[in-house]
Amino acid sequence: MHFGKILGAASLAVGLSLVAITGASAVTLNLHNGGDPGSVDPHKVSGDWENRVVGDYIEGLVTEDAEAKAIPGQAETWDISEDGTVYTFHLRDGIQWTDGTPVTAGDFVFAFQRLFDPATASEYAYLQYPIKNAEAINAGTITDFNELGVKAIDDKTLEITLEAPTPYFVDALMHYTAYPVPRHLVEKFGDDWTKMDNIVANGPFKLVEWVPGSHLRAVKNDMYYDAANVKLDEVYYYVLEDESAALNRYRAGEFDILTDFPADQYQFLKDNYPGEAHVDPFLGIYYYVMNQEKAPLDDVRVRKALSMSIMRDVIGPEVLGTGELPAYGWVPPGTNNYDGAEYMPDWAALPYDERVAMAKQLLTEAGYGPDKPLSLQLRYNTNDAHQRVAVAIAAMWEPIGVSIELFNSEVRVHYDALRAGDFQIGRAGWLLDYSDAANTLDLLKTGTMQDGTMNWGNNYGRYSNAEFDALLAEAATTTDLVARAGLLHQAETIAMDEFAAIPIYWYVSENVVKPYIEGFADNAKDIHRNRWITKSE
């Protein structure tokens, strides 16, 4: 897909912004953004590197404050019915797209219908399944989109009806799957509405340039309702997956913020750039998926052998050096409304040599050994930390007689392979979109049929268990939070006992921020909207 600079299609306000930022007083943020976005359409994106861009130029009903907590966005207020199933949102006066077209409740209705349209194939549509009939429409079992529980009462009033009370629904609306899209442009241009000559914005910034493989550029949107408090004139989102190269450019003064850094440079940063390296726990899990549609990983004995022979305790402090905590379960510690003991398998407490012996026995029972060695390919996306972890885990699997071929590719190619099932073992990670156990457990739900094709979503390993699915479905309609947590704990236990995936560690965020940057608040979601950033250099 070709993207070019915006020239004559901008509104007067954005045009004035473009003029303003050419002046000497322009405030420009140079942000290292990691991967190259595959899209900037909120219904087509999936990665955090895309979220950073999309969340700056489009705003939903609800948005994030500097600490990634929910605050009013395009909706100024909302009401919730007594039974917790009907949300009525009241849009702000005067909100508009940057071409001057008003943002209306109808844009949100259109966006939600497009999100759940099976033809859109939105990877994260399921995050909004609490909405009435959303899942059935997304699966194609309901074809009348008017049955979706999203209605425009008038241009400024939007009513959303849920299947059942959902305690995290407002937080879910912060996700880009709940963003509006400009109906008038989507209907005119189709998917090409995001080309730079066509694109508009309703958020604090507007995209004006995209050079694939290099950068994106956004300018301040003077039509934004809170534009007076947006202090940046423009933002460059630089594409660079090589963490070492990114750190060198940061040291050279080319980047103001790094969104990742080589783990082995943490001590160097602490010694030479005190206070600039931000390493903080946040809600996310680093894990390996195993393709369970094909041998040998369709055998639970093989999956268990691989999982139990990983020395998770050494990965954070020794392999990475940034203090990541070992993960044996699937729901990160600190997740809201998920009290109770963290999942911990019995074998986790055994000495490593005993675990190796057990793993070797499991592989023998599965038919592997010296006469029939097990060889597997481990895929990861190009990144220093991913490589270090992969090399270390491959070495941990040698004592059980498993040889590993390492294969890396850039992030878009990597995730395309995972979605296509073109892998044996693959590295993946998940950052919670909202603090609820279902947000990670949903990753392991059986896929849904869409137009005769099974859509596995983010369940890359294609794990499937009917009891697990039933527990998640029951939890989705359970209003008692304690009872709901119990159902989700049962589901987590089933999936982990069957080694649906290999959890490795709980994430920490790793950012590097220049001392002249203000408004960058460490938070459990590692989301930092540039609306809140100031640069005092």
Asked if residue 273 belongs to a domain, the reply is no
Residues 332 and 362 in one domain: yes
Same domain, 388 and 487: yes
Interatomic CA distance for residues 144 and 431, integer angstroms: 33
- Of 123-132, 406-415, 447-456, 480-489, give the lowest mean pLDDT range: 447-456
- Are 445 and 462 found together in one domain? yes
Residue 323 pLDDT greater than 90, yes or no: no
In a domain, 292, yes or no: yes
Same domain, 332 and 229: no
The verdict on 447 and 365 lying in the same domain is yes
Is the confidence at residue 408, as pLDDT, over 90?
yes
Q: Is 523 within a domain?
A: yes
Long-range residue pairs from 345-349, CB within 8 A, at least 24 positions apart, any chain: 345/308, 345/496, 345/497, 347/308
Domain that holds residue 114: 12-240+514-535
374-381 vs 425-431, strand pairing mode = parallel
Percentages helix, strand, coil for the chain (3-state, rounded to 5) are: 35, 25, 40
Residue 20 has pLDDT above 70, yes or no: no
215-252 pLDDT, tens per residue?
999 999 999 999 999 999 999 999 999 999 999 999 99
**Same-domain status, 499 and 353:** yes
pLDDT for the residue 5: 25
Structure tokens given for 12: 């007067």
The distance between the two most distant Cα atoms of the chain, rounded to a whole number of Å, is 73
Structural domain includes residue 389: yes
415 shares its domain with 526: no
**Average pLDDT for residues 448-453, to the nearest whole number?**
70
Spatial contact of 232 and 27, defined as CB atoms under 8 Å apart: yes
The conformational region for residue 526 under phi > 0 = left, psi -120 to 50 = alpha, else beta, is: left
Residue 78 belongs to domain with CATH number:
3.40.190.10
Domain presence at residue 51? yes
Q: What is the pLDDT of residues 157-198, one digit of tens each?
A: 999 999 999 989 999 999 999 999 999 999 999 999 999 999
Residue type for position 496? M
Please report whether residue 274 resides in a domain.
no
CATH number (domain holding residue 407): 3.10.105.10
Q: Are residues 440 and 352 in the same domain?
A: yes
β-bridge partners, 102: 96
The amino acid sitting at 285 is I
Looking at the structure, tell me whether residues 474 and 528 fall in a common domain.
no
User: What Å distances lie between residue 428 and 138, 256, 463, CA to CA?
Assistant: 25, 27, 15
Residue 81 lies in a domain: yes
Contacts of 310 (CB under 8 A, 6+ apart): 393, 396, 397, 502, 504
CA-CA distance, 149 to 152, in Å (whole number)?
Answer: 10
**Which tokens is 191 given?**
């998917």
Same domain, 69 and 101: yes
- DSSP 3-state of 61: coil
Domain membership flag for residue 26? yes
| pLDDT at position 374 | 98
Check whether residue 529 and residue 488 sit in a common domain: no
Q: Are residues 436 and 398 in the same domain?
A: yes
Question: Distance between CA 178 and CA 60 in Å, rounded?
Answer: 6
Q: Which of 201, 159, 181 is nearest to 43 (CA)?
A: 181
- Name the domain count of the chain: 2
